[in-house]
Structure 1
């Protein structure tokens, strides 16, 4: 039998120790998506745009899976902080089964209604078939991603962020190899284009899931009560939903707002849609610093809340803001300086290059606000304050981002520049409001753990 490894003392780990594996893992996840884009760009720009539209739909589905994964990460961290090992494992089992069932349902929906969703997006006729093929294959197996997200959240909550990183490295290598074989028909393999990218994505996820499950069973001390899954306390499911549904609501509001903004961009034209895909692929490398720091902060704060170390949690969030803002701003400046060279990797279309360069320059204004937003929202979630970010998110994303995108981008004809201005306004507004919320300390009374004493 594989040797079990005791859980780490997360409370004594530094933010850096937790964050650097998260950074590399997120980077590799982004590289997987960019590998698809880069390799498809050598095939055709239309294929890139088609996959970009399909991924806009798939990102909404991933958010739906994320509501259980988010609740899992927070509850396990809080239980571990409170030294409640049994309850932590029970939450893990309930979340795995819940996301599996949910994933199967959404996979069937995408498989049977994929074309209808693409038509609702207003996708150009020349992109429809490629987009449909990708959506049906990747979407039809999206339940695999649901379990990958859940098991990954469990492993990271126990402090084994490096293990999750190693699996992601392997998944990326397999994905790139599969892309090479199936896009271009190397070594006698069939030349499948977009279909090949979809197949490669699914195969790498299935293999990665197998390794994640093996690591979870090997690393965590004790056994998981899978045989008792239907007799476990209903309170775990209730808490998962109480945390997860509002958290998913915020992400869903963001992704549905992006859905409508993408619809606006399809009205501008295929070149604008392709420019958006290329620009956001590069922007993801800038924001990954803030994402990694926010996720590491969430794990630490979750454990601190479980241990009732509220003042430590308060300081941890504020201390995480400085590196998140400085690093992401610096990265945005560097990427802006070399934007033409970076975009040149994907395309030589001068119209796309011209607008994308301007959008990347605007990222310098965007990233500090997004950094504040990411770190503080994840901190609020870890403390159990999950509803306020949703209410403000819906108000800002739709009242600011979607509205300004249409007014500036379509009505006044600013195109993608108007869309990016709306992104800047949205991120800064939410970031400032969330920071005020954290400093108010209202979240100290929102924890889902049973409190024997109130915070000072």
Structure 2
């Protein structure tokens, strides 16, 4: 068991650092723009939710490349792994065109759809447009990082993420307030900083995949569009993207509910979500590790070992979340004060942080076991469960607790973690009820 733990940590720790860098950057950027007032914090919060929906809709490509390449790597068939990555990149081009159009034409309208005030729309529309342009580079990174993680290289994404996020911090500092010889652009400067950071990540990932790894995996090759593989990748990407999108769109509605509670409540909600994202860090990292190890062992035709790796990954990840939750619970008020000195904001934010401190363990279970299910290609279950629990359970419960029963922000968060707990327990049950002896590597079907 402890040998497995060592391998898990070698893969997971760089991923934790990657997600930590992204999370820390978001935290620092929010703190940087925080002195501009609650309106700006609220605008950033709404834009973050919008971009999380865009991320979710596109993330299926990265998850799909990750698990398919991991299976091909385990099977010793990296020729197919490279071909599948190319086909995924072709699909990325179509997504990028849609994202650029959304940023150019739809930023103001999307903010209005969220129920934002005219003041908030004016403050956030240019920032949101730049965030959409940055997402175009993120889509490319999803696929290329999925390839790298699929072959067990979690260090390169870590290094690129650190580099890109360091650039974001520097340019946010410079472009937002006019420091370091840059013009003072205000909140749009923070959006431009995100765009620059994502572009740097894309340049680095292209170099690593197509130049540094070419001799080993023949990554610079001409790949024709195989229709069967394209259907497989599009279908799997669609299911995994819709799984994430169903959840993120439910969070979109959740934020619309909170928006109607007032600017201070929305600012407190954004602070609490930002702190909660510290729990996403190990959850996502161990989930990615589970996908890699489970997918690799499926490729090697060793399903029992794949199941063992999935379990060990969940145990290690849960330990990390329990430690993190204890810190958040004890220091909730000082943490909230790092974001805002307004008592109406930080007191409510601290209460929300305490609600989430230990309940985020369920978010860990959701991610760990969903990562394992992705490794075997059980994507239909993930999609169906996400749709039902997001829209039949979470959204109605959030409305009832927030408005009908009058619990306000606390009610919204209770509904959020009730949903996460139900989803986490469902995917854990599915993982252990799977007939592992029947698990096979994913192949394209039809002609």
Tell me if TM exceeds 0.5.
yes
- Secondary structure of the 1:186 match is coil
Q: CA deviation at 1:429?
A: 1.1
SS in structure 2 of the partner of residue 227 of structure 1: coil
Contact 1:108 1:140 in 2 (8 A): no
Unaligned runs of 5+ in 2: none
Q: Aligned to 2:260, what secondary structure does the other structure show?
A: helix
TM-score, structure 2 as length reference: 0.94
Q: How large is the Cα RMSD of the aligned pairs? A: 1.8
Query: What is the aligned partner in structure 2 of residue 124 from structure 1?
Result: 117
Correspondence 1:222 to 2:214:
no
2:368 matches 1:409: no
Which residue matches 2:155? 162
Query: CA contact under 8 A between 2:16 and 2:281: conserved in structure 1?
Result: yes
The answer to which of 175-184 and 95-104 deviates more is 95-104
Which deviations, in whole Å up to 9, do the C-alpha atoms of 1:301-350 show, x marking residues without a partner?
A: 11111111100111111222222222202211111211111111110111
Distance 1:141 1:363 in 2: 30
Q: Contact conserved, 2:19 with 2:281, CA < 8 A, in 1? A: yes
d(CA) in 1 for partners of 2:257 and 2:296?
42
Cα separation, 1, equivalents of 2:316 and 2:158: 21
In structure 2, distance between residues paired with 1:175 and 1:30:
12
| Number of the residue aligned with 2:36 | 43
- Residue of structure 1 aligned with 2:260, choices 253, 258, 267: 267
- 2: CA distance between counterparts of 1:450 and 1:381? 14
What whole-Å deviation, never above 9, does each CA across 1:181-206 have from its counterpart, x for those lacking one?
A: 11111144221111100111111111
The answer on whether the counterparts of 1:365 and 1:424 sit within 8 Å (CA) in structure 2 is no
Partner of 2:53: 60
Q: Tell me the residue number matched to 2:200.
A: 207
Matched pairs, number: 439
Shift of 1:74: 1.0
Name 2:372's counterpart in structure 1.
379
Cross-structure match for 1:438: 431
Map of 1:245 onto structure 2: 238
What is the deviation of 1:450?
A: 5.1
Paired position in structure 2 for 1:335: 328
How far apart in 1 are the matches of 2:154 and 2:74? 17
Q: Distance in 2 between matches of 1:176 and 1:422?
A: 34
Measured after TM superposition, the shift of residue 447 of structure 1 is: 4.1
When the two structures are superposed, what TM-score results if normalisation uses the length of structure 1? Answer: 0.92
Deviation at 1:58, TM superposition (A): 1.4
Q: Mean alpha-carbon deviation: is it higher for 105-114 or for 406-415?
A: 105-114
Separation of aligned partners in 1, 2:149 and 2:409: 37
Unpaired runs of at least 5, structure 1 = 1-10, 452-456
Q: Does 1:136 align with 2:115?
A: no
**Pairwise CA distance, 1:418:** 0.3
| Separation in 2, partners of 1:29, 1:253 | 23
Q: Which of the residues 99, 110, 121 maps onto 2:103?
A: 110
Cα separation, 1, equivalents of 2:74 and 2:217: 17
